[in-house]
Structure 1
Amino acid sequence: MESERLVSLDVFRGMTIAGMVVVNNPGTWSAIYSPLAHAVWHGITPTDFIFPFFLFIVGSAIPFSLGKRIKAGGADRAVFAKIIRRTIVIFTLGILLALIPKFDFANLRIPGVLQRIAVCYFFASILFLYLDWKKLAILSAVLLLLYWILMTLVPVPGCITPDINSKVCNLAALLDRVALTEKHMWKQAKVFDPEGILSTIPAIVSTLAGVLAGMRLKRDNPKLEKAFGLLATGICLCALGYIWNYSFPFNKSLWTSSYAVYTGGLALCFLGFCFWVIDIKGYTKWAFPFRVFGMNALALFVLSGFLSKLLILIKIDGGEGKLISLQSAIFKSVYLPLAAPINASLL
């Protein structure tokens, strides 16, 4: 397995990126099925699984992409160069997407999906080079507990007590407002950023969960034992995350520790199942499209983001002297006649 791509991991990545494209590009945001929308604050929907799944997959690939290049006793310059180069490329692509179409650097949103992926990849890769699986697991637990303490106990100026029920009175939001300022945060929120600074810590743990899964899959154990191990660990983490949710609620925007644990458990279960179906049982024909998506995930995400902005940017005559976006025109003239708005939006 050292020299081979893990087909189930490519398929898992492809299914995840396909889901990301679907939920990020509805025909209209005014008519979407509730499972295809993010939870407003506390809570979780299937859409909230996608980003942590992707970070988990990024982590799972690290032992395969870096492991074979590590020299005995440490890593050489080529490994560090690869990590830094990939980090810069992904982060830069995120910034470029954020700049389109206005290229307004004064109001550029600095955090973002690709930017978070880049940061998480960097730290997870460096930690993989220097820590064994036990130390990675312990560090992950410590970081999640520390984040819980910071978010629930550290006071926020102007607030009576720290309150994760508030979008203002929590430490993550405060740090975003101070370090990024409103001009460089998510414009829809203004008081916090869902890919902000402090919440990146538990997001790194989501990536480390993938690293640990990848390390397990690279062992010489029987394949069935690997699949069972992933599923069993995933079920335990789902249970732990669900229980933790009662004191530290699921929240994607804050990337709460319970959310990281629960989605990490689900990702382990999903990867374990894919590994059993594809790499053990050999059922691969159905998965070919997803494998192609998975092997070109970054290009697909960037192209999807660029095209969606382009379709909104281009304006055409909508009648009665009004200009509407090309995206809106396509939805109304092509998809809306075929189905009810909520179904047409999905098409």
Structure 2
Amino acid sequence: MKKENNNHSIEENISLEEIAQIVENYIQEEDVPIYDGYDVSIEDIEGEIDNNKNNIHKNEEIKKEPIIKEINKNKIEINKNKINEKESNKKKVNKKEINKKEINKKEQNHIKKELNKRFISIDIIKGIAIITIILASGLGVSDELPKYLLLSSWNGIKFVDLGVPVLVLATCFMIPSNIERDLKRKICYKDIIIKKLIVGISTFLIGLLLNVITSSDINHFRIMGILQFISIVYIIVSLIYIVFRKFNLKINVLGIILLVLGSIGLILYFIISKKFGNDMKNCLALFVDSRVLKGHFYTFERYGMISTISAIFSGIISLSGGTFLLDKKADVKEKMNRLIILGMGLIIISLILEKTCPHNVNIWSSSFSFIVLGSFMIVESIMYFLFDFEKNFKLYKLFYPLIMFGKNSFLLLVITEVLKNTLFKLNVYSIAMGKGVSFGKWIVIDCLSEIFGSSSRAIVFLILYLIICLISMIFIHENASKIKSK
């Protein structure tokens, strides 16, 4: 009873307005749901909770979306970079392939120019000839060289005997094409003659100077030599072609005239020399040289006056072969047939003459000149087809060393003769011999003996000399072509 009375007393004391004021002060509107006249069920509350959860997930997904987009962007960029790298690598590979192709094209174009400029077949033949000359030159220790590298003492033909004759014939064979090229460039005959004289006279003087330097008696120095021999033939044969060329004859007619002129000269030489005999002490060459070159030749002059005259007539016949290749109306087969027929005819003449006139390189006997000329024409016809008509790049590269020797054959011959008569003749003390020897012998005996022995050291010296010559000629050729291209 007391409690109830107390409650009534509190209710009586607190008015409704005060209660409302308390509610407003101590209860926030966010905590109390707004009553809109409808009752809120539990399901509605759960639904709102689910919606709130979904909203939270959506908000999280919205927050994650830019991160995912950035990751995807990075992945795309990485893939793009990989693709770009692959493409760049492909481009690099393609560039390398293109560069290789361009280099190959440049090489092929360079080779084509070389093939069009000159007869590569002649360069190869001249290359073989100059190598043969160097092998038979007696560099180093000539006494230790095998017999097949020694020149024939008198009658007979060895392979090394063909070096100088083939070089002379190949040089004369190229004279018509060289002069015709100069005429196409509108170079006058006078300038062409001057150019030929400069080359020939300068070569002659170099050879003569070497003979003076190496002579023990200046009053009786040797006049003729290999350089003098070749230079005289080159000058006279060139002038003969220019004289006949000024008559404006047809190329075939000119070739036949030269062939007849050269053949008559060699046959006359055969008829005249037959009266003097074929012995070294009784021959036309000794008879003439002992009078013309009196006091300026040794017991027998290998490159004397008679052998020079014989070489001039041989060079004139070689000129005719060179003119036949210049005939624009004839096709390759016709040109080859002409050279082959010409070569076979010359060999037949040689075999007829050989019965009474042995093959002899020392005096350039008529039989020797005819057989070398005939063989040269046949070989050149085959080489011409392979290298100058077919223009095979693989063959060009395969025979490149010989081509380099051939292109610079004259220069190599001069260098070899200069070294042979100057540097290689210097006196050097040999420990192995215990005395002074020539520098060439010193290299062979003191330097190469320990490695290669006494049996092969002389040949090794010649091979090393050829390798040095080849490297030098390639270097000169490559740098000369670069300078011209610039």
TM-score normalised to the size of structure 1? 0.87
Gaps of 5+ in 1: 154-161
> One-letter code of the match for 2:405?
F
SS in 2 for 1:41: coil
Q: 1:329 to 1:68 in 2, by over 3 A?
A: closer
SS in 1 for 2:358: coil
SS in 1 for 2:143: coil
Gaps of 5+ in 2: 1-112, 245-253, 461-486
| 1:264 alignment partner in structure 2 | 373
User: What is the CA–CA distance in structure 1 between the aligned matches of 2:352 and 2:343, rounded to whole Å?
Assistant: 14
User: What is the CA–CA distance in structure 2 between the aligned matches of 1:287 and 1:99, rounded to whole Å?
Assistant: 38
Q: 1:346 to 1:239 in 2, by over 3 A?
A: farther
Q: Report how many aligned residue pairs link the two structures.
A: 331
User: What is the CA–CA distance in structure 2 between the aligned matches of 1:39 and 1:337, rounded to whole Å?
Assistant: 32
| 1:158 alignment partner in structure 2 | none
| 2:130 alignment partner in structure 1 | 17
SS in 1 for 2:359: coil
Kindly state the Cα deviation for residue 103 of structure 1 after the two structures are TM-superposed: 8.1
CA contact (8 A) 2:215 2:222 kept: no
CA contact (8 A) 2:215 2:221 kept: no
| 2:304 alignment partner in structure 1 | 196
Q: 1:102 to 1:239 in 2, by over 3 A?
A: same
Q: 1:218 to 1:313 in 2, by over 3 A?
A: same
> One-letter code of the match for 2:350?
G
Alignment of 1:132-211 (within 5 A): 132-153=254-275, 162-165=276-279, 167-181=280-294, 183-185=295-297, 187=298, 190=299, 192-211=300-319
User: What is the CA–CA distance in structure 2 between the aligned matches of 1:308 and 1:87, rounded to whole Å?
Assistant: 21
Say yes or no: does 1:45 pair with 2:154.
no
1:169-226 residue CA offsets vs partner (Å, 9 max, x unmatched) = 2222111111111x311x3xx1x31111122221112212321121122222222432
1:128-176 residue CA offsets vs partner (Å, 9 max, x unmatched) = 12332222111111111111121112xxxxxxxx2212x2222221111
Aligned counterpart in structure 2 of residue 89 of structure 1, from 180, 202, 215: 202
Q: 1:138 to 1:100 in 2, by over 3 A?
A: same
Q: 1:75 to 1:103 in 2, by over 3 A?
A: farther
User: What is the CA–CA distance in structure 1 between the aligned matches of 2:149 and 2:190, rounded to whole Å?
Assistant: 43
User: What is the CA–CA distance in structure 2 between the aligned matches of 1:320 and 1:338, rounded to whole Å?
Assistant: 17
User: What is the CA–CA distance in structure 2 between the aligned matches of 1:60 and 1:164, rounded to whole Å?
Assistant: 29
User: What is the CA–CA distance in structure 2 between the aligned matches of 1:269 and 1:301, rounded to whole Å?
Assistant: 25
1:230-276 residue CA offsets vs partner (Å, 9 max, x unmatched) = 23422332233133211111111111000100111121122223222
| 1:159 alignment partner in structure 2 | none
User: What is the CA–CA distance in structure 2 between the aligned matches of 1:169 and 1:176, rounded to whole Å?
Assistant: 12
User: What is the CA–CA distance in structure 2 between the aligned matches of 1:297 and 1:78, rounded to whole Å?
Assistant: 24
| Deviates further, 94-103 or 306-315 | 94-103
SS in 2 for 1:68: helix
CA contact (8 A) 1:59 1:124 kept: yes
CA contact (8 A) 1:101 1:313 kept: no
User: What is the CA–CA distance in structure 1 between the aligned matches of 2:433 and 2:165, rounded to whole Å?
Assistant: 45
Identity of aligned residues (%): 24
> One-letter code of the match for 1:241?
S
Aligned counterpart in structure 1 of residue 147 of structure 2, from 20, 34, 38: 34
Kindly state the Cα deviation for residue 342 of structure 1 after the two structures are TM-superposed: 5.2
Say yes or no: does 1:64 pair with 2:146.
no
Say yes or no: does 1:255 pair with 2:377.
no
| 1:213 alignment partner in structure 2 | 321
Kindly state the Cα deviation for residue 340 of structure 1 after the two structures are TM-superposed: 6.3
Highest relative contact order (Cα 8 Å, sep 6+), 1 or 2? 1
> One-letter code of the match for 2:258?
L
Q: 1:306 to 1:319 in 2, by over 3 A?
A: same
SS in 2 for 1:24: coil
SS in 1 for 2:305: coil
Q: 1:325 to 1:130 in 2, by over 3 A?
A: closer
CA contact (8 A) 1:26 1:346 kept: no
TM-score normalised to the size of structure 2? 0.63
> One-letter code of the match for 1:287?
F
CA contact (8 A) 2:127 2:404 kept: yes
> One-letter code of the match for 2:346?
L
Kindly state the Cα deviation for residue 110 of structure 1 after the two structures are TM-superposed: 0.7
| 2:414 alignment partner in structure 1 | 302
Larger radius of gyration: 2
Kindly state the Cα deviation for residue 75 of structure 1 after the two structures are TM-superposed: 6.3
SS in 2 for 1:316: strand
Q: 1:264 to 1:65 in 2, by over 3 A?
A: same
> One-letter code of the match for 2:273?
M
SS in 1 for 2:141: coil
CA contact (8 A) 2:156 2:359 kept: yes
| 2:241 alignment partner in structure 1 | 128
> One-letter code of the match for 1:66?
I
CA contact (8 A) 1:32 1:342 kept: no
Kindly state the Cα deviation for residue 96 of structure 1 after the two structures are TM-superposed: 2.2
1:97-121 residue CA offsets vs partner (Å, 9 max, x unmatched) = 3233458531221111111111111
| Deviates further, 99-108 or 88-97 | 99-108
User: What is the CA–CA distance in structure 2 between the aligned matches of 1:336 and 1:271, rounded to whole Å?
Assistant: 40
Calculate the aligned-residue CA RMSD, in Å. 2.5
Kindly state the Cα deviation for residue 33 of structure 1 after the two structures are TM-superposed: 2.7
Aligned counterpart in structure 2 of residue 106 of structure 1, from 219, 229, 246: 219
